[in-house]
Amino acid sequence: MKILIVGTGYVGTTTGLIFCEMGHRVTGLDLDECKIQALQAGKLHFYEPGLGDLLTKHAAAQNIYFTKRTKEAVEENDVIFICVGTPQNSDGGADLSYVKNVAEAIGKYMNNYKIIVTKSTVPVGTAELVTNWIKKSQEDLIPFDVVSNPEFLREGSAVQDALNPDRIVIGATSEKARSIMKELYKDFHCPIVETNPKASEMIKYAANSFLAMKISFINELARLCDELNINVNDVSRGIGLDQRIGPLFLRAGMGYGGSCFPKDVNALIQTAKENGQPLSILESVVKVNAEQPLYLMEKIKDALGGNLKNKTIGVFGVAFKANTDDTRESASLKLIEHLLAEEAEIRAHDPIVKMEKEHQFRTIEETVTGADAVVICTDWDEYKNLDWASLKSLMKQTYLFDFCNMVDKEKVKSIGFQYMGVANH
Ligand code: NAD
């Protein structure tokens, strides 16, 4: 089947290459010249473990090609996946302008029956909107179907997630489209949830909101554990082993970030408001998450004597989580903002992310030199087993804030660090 992927970002590029793995021919379309040039040259324009190898393999086998030419791309392909961004609007809802532009282009250039699949995360009712946008831009009435097929991959493990999904959700109204979609996914060994587009759209938002809720739940509980001198990691393990709860997304830390959870939770809250059925649990999830970096900054401030002016803080990790270069809504950047507002001096490090020169240091040693404190913000493997004794000798004071609860606290304490995690007692 000939597949067109519109939007060659994290989701589009991964989806396209996974379909190549399944034996399909794929075209990747993007309006961003730089991204297309990089992909045409066989280079990823973002960091994602394992994806570069797939690109090399399928570009060499000519299973995938990348273009900026919308008309030809639409004409030549049968199934069109919309994978463009759906950022947050000023009211918290999803900005559908990129999706609308794509739908209008498809309507304009469509030459025969197509299936248009929304893989972007879009609010309930968007399949209907896409249908109307396409119809309005058509010169001749050519039949088509719109299907909702949300994506659940995680940056940092996108290849594995996309190759081995927990489930595939197909929201379709026509039998023809449903059976073509099932054919497309026939080699994936997981349950397929067949439903209508509205339920499919809701599933994606409900999944992300539920995971964000787990994170805010454990982070708020960690604050109480702090007061009561309880190790929140033990609590996470103790409840996570209950199969009804599950162990994932129960690690206390900096709070959720990234390009999906923050905007998706807000978009669902907005949908709920618009429909007169507010989701008060999710409103609390957002509140707790927004407070978390500030709560942790206050911990640093208290430990350092109540004033951060001219204190030097080494920050380990600015990506919103390990194994990605994505800093969108990164809790680390929010903490840095709070620290800068307190007039602290920041020396930041990240193995992959490039940030402003004045704050970023190339090596871990340079980052901690003269620091009053080190704060671990992203759980990169690099930070797990550092030679803390030699790092200590470079620091001015020896405060270590492990906001990922990832280092061996007894060991660093025995070296002479004043250690503080997130309720890691
Ligand atoms: P991204 O910003 O990395 O990529 C989007 C791409 O679309 C960009 O390269 C942009 O240039 C391109 N684009 C915009 N308008 C276009 C147009 N008219 N024609 C062609 N290309 C166009 O975004 P992403 O992180 O890949 O996310 C895409 C969607 O998938 C979003 O709705 C997101 O919520 C959802 N999603 C993301 C993830 C994730 O982990 N990143 C996971 C699941 C779902």
Pocket test for ligand 1, best of 30, 67, 153 (most atoms within 8 A of CB): 30
Pocket test for ligand 1, best of 27, 70, 84, 88 (most atoms within 8 A of CB): 84
Task: Pull the structure tokens for residue 302.
Answer: 């208290």
Determine whether the shortest distance from the Cβ of 153 to ligand 1 is under 6 A: yes
Determine whether the shortest distance from the Cβ of 335 to ligand 1 is under 6 A: no
pLDDT in tens, 221-238: 999 999 999 999 999 999
H or E element at residue 145: strand 144-148
Q: Which residues contact 177 (CB under 8 A, 6 or more apart)?
A: 115, 145, 146, 147
Determine whether the shortest distance from the Cβ of 409 to ligand 1 is under 6 A: no
pLDDT number for residue 358: 74
Higher pLDDT, 378 or 355: 378
170 close to 181: Cβ distance less than 8 angstroms: yes
Task: Report CA(67)–ligand 1 centroid distance (Å).
Answer: 16
* C-alpha pair distances (Å), 284 with each of 173, 225, 297, 377: 35, 19, 20, 23
What's the rounded Cα separation, in Å, for the pair 306 and 302?
A: 5
Number of other CB atoms surrounding residue 353 within 10 Å? 21
pLDDT in tens, 33-89: 999 999 999 999 999 999 999 999 999 999 999 999 999 999 999 999 999 999 999
Average pLDDT over all residues of the chain: 97
Determine whether the shortest distance from the Cβ of 66 to ligand 1 is under 6 A: no
pLDDT number for residue 70: 98
Task: Report CA(360)–ligand 1 centroid distance (Å).
Answer: 28
Number of other CB atoms surrounding residue 41 within 10 Å? 9
Atom of ligand 1 nearest to the CA of 326: 41
pLDDT number for residue 1: 83
What's the rounded Cα separation, in Å, for the pair 143 and 320?
A: 42
Determine whether the shortest distance from the Cβ of 48 to ligand 1 is under 6 A: no
pLDDT number for residue 329: 96
pLDDT in tens, 259-307: 999 999 999 999 999 999 999 999 999 999 999 999 999 999 999 999 9
Q: Is the dihedral of CA 140, 145, 146, 149 positive or negative?
A: negative
pLDDT over 80 at 356, yes or no? no
What's the rounded Cα separation, in Å, for the pair 107 and 136?
A: 7
Task: Report CA(134)–ligand 1 centroid distance (Å).
Answer: 20
* C-alpha pair distances (Å), 113 with each of 6, 7, 142, 246, 329: 17, 21, 6, 44, 39
Determine whether the shortest distance from the Cβ of 11 to ligand 1 is under 6 A: yes
pLDDT over 90 at 328, yes or no? yes
Q: Whose CA is nearest to atom 34 of ligand 1?
A: 121
Atom of ligand 1 nearest to the CA of 264: 34
315 close to 347: Cβ distance less than 8 angstroms: yes
Report the share of the chain in percent with pLDDT over 70.
100
Determine whether the shortest distance from the Cβ of 216 to ligand 1 is under 6 A: no
Q: Whose CA is nearest to atom 1 of ligand 1?
A: 9
- Mean pLDDT, range 390-408, rounded to an integer: 98
Task: Report CA(391)–ligand 1 centroid distance (Å).
Answer: 40
Strand, coil or helix: what is 298?
A: helix
pLDDT number for residue 355: 81
260 is catalytic: yes
Q: Which residues contact 278 (CB under 8 A, 6 or more apart)?
A: 269, 272
Region of 128 (left: φ > 0; alpha: ψ -120 to 50; beta: rest) is alpha
**Which residue in the list 20, 225, 260, 404 is annotated as catalytic?**
260
Determine whether the shortest distance from the Cβ of 8 to ligand 1 is under 6 A: yes
b/e per residue, 4-39, with b = 16+ CB within 10 A?
A: bbbbbbbbbbbbbbbbbeeebbbbbbbbeeebbebb
- Mean pLDDT, range 162-184, rounded to an integer: 97
Atom of ligand 1 nearest to the CA of 7: 7
pLDDT number for residue 359: 85
pLDDT number for residue 90: 93
Determine whether the shortest distance from the Cβ of 204 to ligand 1 is under 6 A: no
Determine whether the shortest distance from the Cβ of 261 to ligand 1 is under 6 A: no
Q: Whose CA is nearest to atom 6 of ligand 1?
A: 7
- Mean pLDDT, range 341-368, rounded to an integer: 92
pLDDT number for residue 320: 96
Structural domains in the chain plus CATH codes? 2-195 (3.40.50.720), 214-421 (3.40.50.720)
